[in-house]
Amino acid sequence: MGKIDFFKTFVKDKDVASVIPTSRRCVKKVCTHIDFSEDFLLVEYGPGDGAFTKYLIENMSEGSRLILIEANKNFAGHLRDTIDDPRVEIHNILAGDVRDVLNEKDLGSVDYVLSGIPFSFFDMDRKRIILKATKDILKQKGKFLAYQTSGHLKEPVMEVFGNYETEFEMLNIPPYFIYEVINNGTPTAETGQ
């Protein structure tokens, strides 16, 4: 998909949240948090037209799997039309419903969740719902990686996961905070589980 079609999708759907896809430089920076030398199961929230997805497919091993969770019908259709790879599954659903599309055996076995969805647009309850679903699908020591336009995720991430590290990528439109969060089994503030 070209930049103009991406922009047109943005105009019709405010949850697209960005006027152009993430730059290759920023994609590479976020993906330094992924170990491509090992087979992995990675779930991507909000792949859009595939800026990260392309890089993941190019670099992941034959034994790895990638599950794409995209809310926008236009983007999901584009991904289905352009990706022909047995390692990849595409679902046109909301990130908060991710547990519904994972096989029983994959729940709690996901190595990475990579997210570009605009958490800043969601109220606190919705942020918590998505983060708790994310924690449920990740394995112990699995990573939640998110690129976000501000530091607003710190509070709910601390509540649900109890840890995070961030770095800043200025040379992207928009500039992004990159979060790395480890699922280390820390109790969540709300449930105590």
Ligand X SMILES: C[S@@+](CC[C@H](N)C(=O)[O-])C[C@H]1O[C@@H](n2cnc3c(N)ncnc32)[C@H](O)[C@@H]1O
SS3 state at 95 = helix
- The phi and psi torsions of 64 (rounded to 5 degrees) equal -85, 160
Binding mask 48-77 toward ligand X (x if CB under 6 A, else -) reads x--xx----------------xxxx--x--
Per CB under 6 A, 15 contacts ligand X: yes
Which strands make up the sheet holding 110-115, listed edge to edge? 88-91, 65-69, 41-45, 110-115, 138-148, 176-182, 165-169
State the number of CA atoms in the 13 A half-sphere of 116 facing the CB.
27
Least separation, in Å, of the C-beta of 185 and ligand X? 25
Least separation, in Å, of the C-beta of 187 and ligand X? 26
Q: How far separated are the first and last CA of the chain, in Å rounded? A: 43
Per CB under 6 A, 142 contacts ligand X: no
Least separation, in Å, of the C-beta of 20 and ligand X? 8
Token pair for residue 152?
A: 């607003």
Least separation, in Å, of the C-beta of 17 and ligand X? 4
d(CA 16, CA 71): 9
Per CB under 6 A, 41 contacts ligand X: no
Identity of residue 132 = K
> Residue 95 or residue 181: which is nearer to ligand X going by CB?
95
SS3 state at 101 = coil
By CB under 6 A, the residues from 105 to 134 that bind ligand X are 116-118
- What is the DSSP secondary structure assignment for residue 159, as one 8-state letter? H
- Figure out which of the listed residues 94, 102, 131, 146 binds ligand X, where binding follows CB under 6 A: 94
Per CB under 6 A, 95 contacts ligand X: yes
Q: Using CB under 6 A, count the residues that bind ligand X.
A: 22
> Residue 16 or residue 90: which is nearer to ligand X going by CB?
16
Per CB under 6 A, 22 contacts ligand X: yes
Per CB under 6 A, 137 contacts ligand X: no
Q: In this structure, are residues 45 and 115 in contact, taking their beta carbons and an 8 Å threshold? A: yes
> Residue 72 or residue 134: which is nearer to ligand X going by CB?
72
182: closest CA among 166, 162, 167? Answer: 162
Binding residues vs ligand X (CB under 6 A): 15-18, 21-22, 45-48, 51-52, 69-72, 75, 94-95, 116-118
